[in-house]
Structure 1
Amino acid sequence: MSYHSKRILGSIVLGCCLAVAYVVYVFRLNPQLSTDLSRWARVVLVFIGIGIIGAIISHIIGVILYTIKVSVTDSELSEKDVDRVVESSLFEDEMDKLIGLRASRVGYYLSGFGAIVGIAILAFGMVPFVAVHIMLAGFFLGNLVEGIMCIYLYEKGVQHG
C-alpha cells in the first residue's frame, strides 16, 4: 500500500472515530432540546475543530513514522537520501491530482445529495434537528466515499480520459 493510501486510510479512520464520538455525544444529550439549533451549531463547530486538529496531528505523526520506516528499511541511505525519498513520496504529481479530482467529484455528489435531502425534509415540515443531522450524515458519507475512492484509484490505477 502506498504512502498516499495509508494517509487517506488514516483520515478515514479518524473521520469514523469522530463520527462515532459525535453520535455518542448526541445520544447522551437530551434530544428533546432539538429546538435549540444554536446549541447544536456550537457542538458541530467544536467537533469540526477537533477534526481539524486531529487531521493535522495525524498528518505530522504519519510523516514522522514514514521517515522512520524509510530510514530503518534502507539503512544504507544517508540522511540526505532519506530526506529526498520522503519528499518525493509527499510530492503530489498529476496522477495524484487526477485521483483527487475523480474522488472529490463523487464525494461532492453525495454531500450535495445529503444537503438537498436535509432541505427537502425542512420543506415538508420535519424538525430542524433531523434535517441538520441528515445534512451532517451526507457530508460524512461524502467524505468517507471520497477517501475509499481515492484508495481504490491509488491501488487500481487511474487512466486519463
Structure 2
Amino acid sequence: MFQFLLRLRYFQYLIGNDFLLSSKFRYNDLQKNIYLFRFRLANLIFQFGYQMEYRLKELIQQTLNRFENDTHSVEEFFLVHQKFLEKLEQIKSRVINSDFIRQQFRTIAKFCHTNSDVQSLTDTTVKNRRQSIVDNINKLDRKT
C-alpha cells in the first residue's frame, strides 16, 4: 500500500515537473492548443492522485486503530481484515470507477482526436454540462 502511494507521489512529481517546464511554451498543431491539453491532463492526474492518497491513508489509519483497540482473538483479526478489504472495494468503485473520472478522461480523449479548435470544444463541453445539470434537476423534480 505504501509502495503504491510512493509511486503515485513520484509519478505526480514527474508529471508536474514536465508540465511546469513545458508550460512556458505554447505549441499550435492543427489549431489545437497543446498547452491546454497538458494542463487538463496534469490537473486530472493530480486530482485523482490526491483523492486516492487521502482515502487510502484514512483507511490505513482506521484499520490500524481497529487492530490496536478491537482485536483480542483471531476471529476479530479476521473481521477487521474483511472490513479493510470491503473498504478497499468501495474506494475502487467510488474513485477509480467513478463517472467523474471517466468523464474527464473522455473529455481529454475527445480533445486529442478532434480536428476542431479548443474554443469550440470547450463551448460544446460547457453547453453539454449545463444541459446535463438541467436534465438531472428535472429528474429530481419528477421523483418528488
Shared fold, TM over 0.5: no
Task: Point out which structure has higher relative CO (alpha carbons under 8 A, 6+ apart).
Answer: 1
TM-score band (shorter)?
A: 0.3 to 0.5
TM-score, L = length of structure 1: 0.34
Larger radius of gyration: 2
